[in-house]
Structure 1
Amino acid sequence: MTLQPGDPLPPAPRVAPDIDDDFSRGAFSDAWVLHYLPHWTTPERSAARWGFTSAGLALRIDQDQLDWRPEDAPLRVSNLQTATFSGPAGSAVGTHRHRPDGLAVRTPTPTDLRYAPRAGRVDVTLRASSDADCMTAIWLVGTEHEDPRDSGEICVVEIDADALGEHTSIRCGIKAHHDDRLTTDMITTTVPHDAGEHLTWTVVWGGGVTTIGCEGIVVAEFDQSPDYPQMLLIDIFEMSPGTGTYPKSTTVRRVKAWSTRSQ
């Protein structure tokens, strides 16, 4: 059945989720790697800045935080992800080859698939950052450990701090990257909520369809889906350091995730 914006999302699977982390309880499961794509940089640059609060897990940008990679500066990131993969040091083999100009592995990482289903559902409850020059994002990306073409991305949501309000402008969709079986299809749309408050964002993908929702309601549906292992990333980016006050943060309250097809 084709779903339209404004329709109710399908119910969650009736089986126990692979991940069910309520960060307001002040603990992690072993699903998470607290680095951002660590193979393309060095540990002191990829490591998340974070802390627990009564509201959940605060992913922070601190004033003394280094750029993720000097070549991508200005860009500082704190991120959670559910898998790692890379080739040897100096190679161009690894998850999310985000640029073509001399990208090389600096910190080899093992193939570690903590949550990387070919199809599934993810519900993330978070409060987007309202801090200057920040973007909050939830996305899934192909691990590439089986095939370098397996690089497609599901952008569940990108939320710019200056887009927050009673109605929030967001971006979502599919990014093909190096996968010629997919077509990039990103949209900008509005949800009738202030994303600076805790909202639950949902993605359901598999069988050639990707559905994205907010607060139980469909935001968009796309007639394609990656058909290979996808890892989950949740992050805050700061694109032009030096403005606003520190620390900057986004707060993740809860993550529930299911695999609906075997890895």
Structure 2
Amino acid sequence: MFDDFDEPELDRSVWLPHYLPAWSSQGASRATYRIHSSRLELTIPPEQGLWAEGVHETPLRVSGLQTGNYSGPVGSTIGQQPFRDGLTVQEAQEEFRGCLVGGGAREARAGLRASLHLSPRSMASLWLIGFEDQPERSGELCVMEVFGRDIARDQALVGIGFHRFRDPGLAEDFARIPVPIDVTEPHAYEARWDDSRAAFLVDGRVLRLLDAPPAYPLQLMLAVFDFPEWSDGRDGHLVPRLSVDRVWAN
């Protein structure tokens, strides 16, 4: 899959413009986005409501896209990336397999070229997760995660690595790496992996090498987040934005 957003509409054969809708609803999980000048822009305007209000413990707003979706019927505990024990499906969803990558000896790659415009209460990320049609296929490979509070003029902490979740075969191994870049300018963030090793790169430079990545197909998750509880009382007008030139996965 390679998407440079040259078409005026989002490719719905690849992307679902919702963030984990089973735990919330189609309406409350819908992304705010636009495509213009061969660029995808994910934003969270001041009027956008909370995601999973009353279910997620802390207030959270999200604009996200994903290339897969799997969950059970209403009331079941079957779903992707559950964020607490006993979480149940709030709204039934159709199964969606837009793009799943990896799961073999051949090297897989996934990445994006993007610029980040974040406030201290927001965050942007590209990560990959197991489809979770089996609960243990739930590991995460995080390509990049950047919090606005971790951005300086010429440096940012970029989170990369593995999150184990319910995968007994995956080691938790995540770190925030200081990278000397201005994230408001476009940069390429990428992961390359096979059954034995994963490499994490920024602008072609390897930042980390980790052994034994998830050995099953992964779907892409791309999102910008806002955490209202982190507000200083003067930032309600700020609009976090993730501006993406292109995304690739194969």
Length-normalised TM-score, structure 1:
0.85
Judging changes above 3 Å, is the alpha-carbon distance between structure 1 residues 55 and 133 closer, same or farther for their aligned structure 2 residues? farther
Higher deviation after alignment, 184-193 or 84-93: 184-193
1:178 and 2:160 correspond: no
> Quick one: which of 200, 217, 238 aligns to 1:212?
200
Letter in 2 for 1:114: G
> Quick one: which of 22, 29, 33 aligns to 1:50?
33
Judging changes above 3 Å, is the alpha-carbon distance between structure 1 residues 61 and 91 closer, same or farther for their aligned structure 2 residues? same
1:139 and 2:123 correspond: no
* Corresponding position of 1:157: 144
1:148 and 2:135 correspond: yes
* Corresponding position of 1:36: 19
Distance in 2 of aligned mates of 1:182 and 1:28:
33
Structure 2: gaps of 5 or more residues? none
* Corresponding position of 1:252: 244
> Quick one: which of 90, 109, 121 aligns to 1:106?
90
- Report if the CA contact (8 A) 1:129-1:236 is conserved: no
How much does 1:24 deviate?
A: 5.5
How much does 1:68 deviate?
A: 0.9
Letter in 2 for 1:137: S
Distance in 2 of aligned mates of 1:104 and 1:177:
17
> Quick one: which of 75, 83, 104 aligns to 1:90?
75
How much does 1:59 deviate?
A: 0.5
The residue matched to 1:162 in structure 2 has which SS? Answer: helix
| Total equivalences in the alignment | 238
Distance in 2 of aligned mates of 1:117 and 1:253:
20
The residue matched to 2:176 in structure 1 has which SS? Answer: strand
How much does 1:252 deviate?
A: 1.2
The residue matched to 1:136 in structure 2 has which SS? Answer: strand
1:63 and 2:46 correspond: yes
Letter in 2 for 1:56: R
The residue matched to 2:76 in structure 1 has which SS? Answer: coil
Judging changes above 3 Å, is the alpha-carbon distance between structure 1 residues 208 and 99 closer, same or farther for their aligned structure 2 residues? farther
Distance in 1 of aligned mates of 2:91 and 2:196:
34
- Report if the CA contact (8 A) 1:167-1:190 is conserved: yes
How much does 1:131 deviate?
A: 2.4
Distance in 1 of aligned mates of 2:48 and 2:120:
16
* Corresponding position of 2:116: 128
Letter in 2 for 1:235: A
1:235 and 2:223 correspond: yes
Aligned-pair Cα RMSD in Å: 1.6
Alignment identity in percent? 29
Post-superposition Cα deviations, 1:20-48, rounded to whole Å, max 9, x if no partner, equal 11126544322100000111111121100
Higher deviation after alignment, 35-44 or 21-30: 21-30
* Corresponding position of 2:4: 22
The residue matched to 1:211 in structure 2 has which SS? Answer: strand
Length-normalised TM-score, structure 2:
0.90
Distance in 2 of aligned mates of 1:169 and 1:216:
17
Distance in 1 of aligned mates of 2:202 and 2:6:
20
Distance in 2 of aligned mates of 1:97 and 1:32:
21
Distance in 1 of aligned mates of 2:160 and 2:167:
18
